């Protein structure tokens, strides 16, 4: 049985062009700063996003962590969305490593945070009881809202609030290029208002490993020190950076433009699922809570939904049919389209979901979150 793995876009394997580039990569010792392939990747990432400098790091989590370490001092506070990866899924690195607290703002179903809520979350620096706000962070695409892409105008508006209070804006752009492609904007325009962006190579862009952090030269110098502190100084790591250079290249081997296929496939999946009795809108934070799954919310490469069944039994029935999806927060199910998933796989997944729903009919769904 062929397996169709829709758990995440992190399951992608490198393209043939990436494998060739990795095998042929020119290498040096990156801690000495002389791996030419890493240097080229960092320069390419910075150039694409219109920033002064870049830094290759092991993961999206490390990208967010070194960015926080570079922006924040111990005892400071970060404003971020309650459902964000930084707050929910990075093992409290902000507290454990950075020494910073979080002021969490409720997420909206459109993936945005209320600007007044952000403005109201700043601390009073004259009050010695309070931590000092040092950073605002947003996530683009915004995963928990079914990966909604955030606009240039919104990013600019958040940056204006942050800058008016004298603090920088960091964008967790794990799927930044999905947001770029979905909206047809230039990467540098979407990155422009932010002071730092971390984007993942290892998700939709199909590289095996890595993220790139970009920002000003001073910021990247501090982030580089932070990466060393974390043990993230790597040596002949051009062998991995080579895949990233292919991903970010213009022309047929690059993997940015093809994200449009993933978005079309996600939409196709959402349309197919929305018609099935037993599939409903996801509910929970950052999602509409009632009624039919709205396929228009599949704006990038995520489909998040709720099954009116026992979720574990449903996922198990699906897996026995060769389709992998994943349990997602607030009792939901997530499917993610990516390199290697074709329209025919999506159609096979819809058919398998129909069968799995029939097999698990009558099992008890988890209560909807209030």
Ligand X SMILES: Cc1ncc(COP(=O)(O)O)c(C=O)c1O
Chain residues binding ligand X by CB under 6 A are: 59-61, 85, 139, 143, 172, 174, 200, 202
DSSP-derived letter for residue 370 is: -
Nearest distance in Å: CB 210, ligand X: 8
Per DSSP, the residues of 97-127 read II--EEEEEPPPTTS---HHHHHHT---TT-
Between 143 and 303, whose beta carbon lies closer to ligand X?
143
Between 212 and 317, whose beta carbon lies closer to ligand X?
212
**248: closest CA among 13, 55, 49, 44?**
44
Nearest distance in Å: CB 354, ligand X: 28
Between 133 and 145, whose beta carbon lies closer to ligand X?
145
Between 59 and 287, whose beta carbon lies closer to ligand X?
59
Indicate the SS3 state at residue 14.
Answer: coil
Long-range contacts of 111-114 (CB under 8 A, 24+ apart): 111/139, 111/140, 111/141, 111/142, 111/145, 111/147, 111/148, 111/149, 111/150, 111/286, 112/142, 112/150, 112/154, 113/81, 113/138, 113/158
Residues 6+ apart with CB under 8 A from 319: none
Between 85 and 297, whose beta carbon lies closer to ligand X?
85
Nearest distance in Å: CB 208, ligand X: 11
Structure tokens at 119: 């403005």
Query: Between the CA of residue 118 and those of 67, 68, 76, 210, 214, what are the distances in Å?
Result: 20, 18, 16, 30, 24
Between 68 and 202, whose beta carbon lies closer to ligand X?
202
Nearest distance in Å: CB 88, ligand X: 10
Nearest-angstrom CA–CA distance, 260 and 184: 10
Nearest distance in Å: CB 347, ligand X: 26
Nearest distance in Å: CB 194, ligand X: 15
Nearest distance in Å: CB 320, ligand X: 26
Between 12 and 61, whose beta carbon lies closer to ligand X?
61
Nearest-angstrom CA–CA distance, 246 and 5: 24
b vs e for 24-36, b when ≥16 Cβ sit within 10 Å of the residue's Cβ? ebebbebeeeebe
Nearest distance in Å: CB 68, ligand X: 12
Helix (H) or strand (E) holding 324: strand 323-324
**At CA 337, angle to CA 66 and CA 260, rounded to 5?**
85
Between 200 and 356, whose beta carbon lies closer to ligand X?
200
Instruction: Give me the residue whose beta carbon is nearest to ligand X.
Output: 60
């Amino acid at each position: 049985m062929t397996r169709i793995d829709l758990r995440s876009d992190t399951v992608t394997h490198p393209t043939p062009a990436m494998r060739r580039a990795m095998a042929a990569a020119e290498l040096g010792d990156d801690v000495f700063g002389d791996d030419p392939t890493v240097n080229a990747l960092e320069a390419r990432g910075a150039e694409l996003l219109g920033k002064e400098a870049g830094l290759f790091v092991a993961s999206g989590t490390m990208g967010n962590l070194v960015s926080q370490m570079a922006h924040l001092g111990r005892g400071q506070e970060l404003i971020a969305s309650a459902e964000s990866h930084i707050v929910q899924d990075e093992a409290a690195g902000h507290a454990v490593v950075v020494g910073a607290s979080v002021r969490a703002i409720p997420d909206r179903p459109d993936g945005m945070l209320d600007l007044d809520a952000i403005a109201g979350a700043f601390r009073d620096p004259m009050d010695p009881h309070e931590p000092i706000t040092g950073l605002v962070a947003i996530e683009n695409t915004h995963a928990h809202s079914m990966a909604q892409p955030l606009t240039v105008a919104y990013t600019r508006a958040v940056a204006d609030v942050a800058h008016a209070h004298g603090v920088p804006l960091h964008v967790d752009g794990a799927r930044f290029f999905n947001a770029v492609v979905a909206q047809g904007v230039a990467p540098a325009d979407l990155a422009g208002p932010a002071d730092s962006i971390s984007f993942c190579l290892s998700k939709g862009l199909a590289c095996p490993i890595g993220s790139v952090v970009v920002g000003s030269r001073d910021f990247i110098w501090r982030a580089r020190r932070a990466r060393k502190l974390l043990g993230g100084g790597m040596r002949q790591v051009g062998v991995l950076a080579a895949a990233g250079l292919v991903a970010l290249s213009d022309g047929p081997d690059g993997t940015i433009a093809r994200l449009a296929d993933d978005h079309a496939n996600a939409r196709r999946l959402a349309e197919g699922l929305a018609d099935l009795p037993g599939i409903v809108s996801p509910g929970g934070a950052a999602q509409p809570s009632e009624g039919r799954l709205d396929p228009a919310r599949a704006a990038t490469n995520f489909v998040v939904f709720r099954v009116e069944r026992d979720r574990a039994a449903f996922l198990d029935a699906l897996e026995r049919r060769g389709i992998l999806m994943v349990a997602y927060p607030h009792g939901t199910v997530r499917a993610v389209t990516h390199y290697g998933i074709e329209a025919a796989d999506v159609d096979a997944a819809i058919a398998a979901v129909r069968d799995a729903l029939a097999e698990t009919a009558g099992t008890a769904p988890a209560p909807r979150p209030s």
